Amino acid sequence: MTFPEKLPIPSEVLKIAKKLEDAGFETWCVGGAIRDNLLGVENHDFDLTTAAPSAEVQKLFKRTVPVGIEHGTVAVLDGANQQHEVTTFRKDIKTDGRHAVVEFGVSLMDDLARRDFTINSIAYHPIRHEWRDPFGGEQDLAKKLIRSVGDPNWRFQEDYLRILRALRFSARFEFRIHARTLEAAKANIQGLAQLSAERVRDEWFKGLKTAARPSKLVALWWDVGAIRIWLPEMRDAGSGMRDAMKHVDKLPRDPVLITAFLAKDPASLLTRLKCSTRDIERGRAIGLWRDKYPDAKDATATRRWLSAVGDHADDLLALLPAPRSPLTQAVEKIRAANAPLTLKDLAVKGDDLIAAGVRPGPDVGEALARLLEEVLEDPSRNTKAYLLSRV
């Protein structure tokens, strides 16, 4: 692989870089957009690194957002309100494996030296069209290799999340991980326990969304030991997991759905990752119902199942081996007929039952539940006259 003469830099990014350069501040494009463009992967989200301190960036541009001012990052807004991140050159002074203390105003070389992997440590000057690749990132892109910048042990100890980032990049681009980098990842795996659940969750979810095959990401997490630390509710690495891995690549790229499918106790795992209440409930429903599908030939059983699983029906249908399974088709038929499935679909309400002589209180709820059972058995019974006659 050789560097192209020019990269297609978005005009708004070019304007920002030119303004910084005209003010006397060296400015380069860096990060994932450089890597992805060299790989032929679409990515227009170019980040800039500059000699300008954050305060100077804020002075030069009228519309900015201090998205990471403590890390030297300011987002400059263009005319379409799109954010473009501009970060001051920096290098790490010390770190606890989660947070780094940085020094600003250093050189581009210092800034590239603090980055995680060689393929992410390539810089491009958007005006002079010059390249800087001090750590051989271009060669590693050609070799399809994930390799740490410098000493991999030190890189991971600066921020243990980089271990998971290595796995994500490997699964996304189908690159192998350099032997020393992989060895260091395994040696430092216990450091993952220091990370916040939110950072781990975001990295895991992002990995599932971007992996060429989600099963590859799962296998990498197993191999380095990350599952043992953060996803202990995952199915055992035996025949159950082998069967699941064959199916996981066919699932929709929904990280909550995939995580719940792979877990023995989905709700517990999603709670560990501090997911939203809604996502935890999705996992709980999957854990409860994934082994209780109805016979698609039995319309009444299918309606009862739909009534019981409620909003989680589509998640459960997505887990079936065949996308167009008989059950999926049966559900589509029931939905097309607009069959009543919940209490709110009944032709009578609580007030109607009270007017008909049902005692207010729990008796009303019990009566409605019994009426719903009758309607699930035969949807044609869902008329006010029939239901009141049953009361």
Contacts of 29 (CB under 8 A, 6+ apart): 7, 9, 13, 17, 46, 47, 48, 123, 124, 125, 126
**CATH number for the domain running over 1-143:** 3.30.460.10
For the chain, domain boundaries: 1-143, 341-391
Greatest alpha-carbon span in the chain = 86
At 203 the pLDDT is: 98
In whole angstroms, what is the distance from residue 157 CA to residue 191 CA? 8
At 102 the pLDDT is: 54
Pairing of strands 145-146, 176-177: parallel
Residue with tokens 């032709």: 347
Nearest to 28 by CA among 97, 102, 129: 129
CB 297: neighbour CB atoms within 10 A?
A: 10
Q: Record the pTM.
A: 0.90
The pair of structure tokens assigned to 308 is 């019981």
At 246 the pLDDT is: 85
At 364 the pLDDT is: 95
At 309 the pLDDT is: 98
Asked if 31 and 120 count as a contact pair (C-beta separation under 8 A), the reply is yes
In whole angstroms, what is the distance from residue 36 CA to residue 34 CA? 6
User: What H or E segment, with its residue span, contains residue 327?
Assistant: helix 326-336
State the 10-residue block means of pLDDT for the chain, 391 residues long.
90 96 96 94 89 94 90 91 93 56 73 95 96 97 97 95 98 98 98 97 98 96 96 79 86 97 96 98 97 96 98 96 89 96 96 94 96 97 96 85
Asked if 212 and 173 count as a contact pair (C-beta separation under 8 A), the reply is yes
Pairing of strands 64-68, 73-77: antiparallel
At 106 the pLDDT is: 75
At 98 the pLDDT is: 57
Sheet holding 27-30, edge to edge: 64-68, 73-77, 83-88, 47-50, 27-30, 123-124, 131-132
CB 148: neighbour CB atoms within 10 A?
A: 25
At 357 the pLDDT is: 92
223-233 b/e (C-beta count within 10 Å ≥ 16 → b): ebebbebbbeb
Torsion of CA 186, 192, 197, 202, to 10 degrees: -50
| DSSP bridge pairs for 180 | none
In whole angstroms, what is the distance from residue 59 CA to residue 23 CA? 11
At 270 the pLDDT is: 98
Phi and psi, residue 91, nearest 5°: -145, 150
User: What H or E segment, with its residue span, contains residue 384?
Assistant: helix 384-390
Phi and psi, residue 226, nearest 5°: -70, -30
Tell whether the torsion through CA atoms of 211, 213, 217 and 223 is positive or negative: negative
DSSP conformation class of 190? G
Asked if 302 and 331 count as a contact pair (C-beta separation under 8 A), the reply is yes
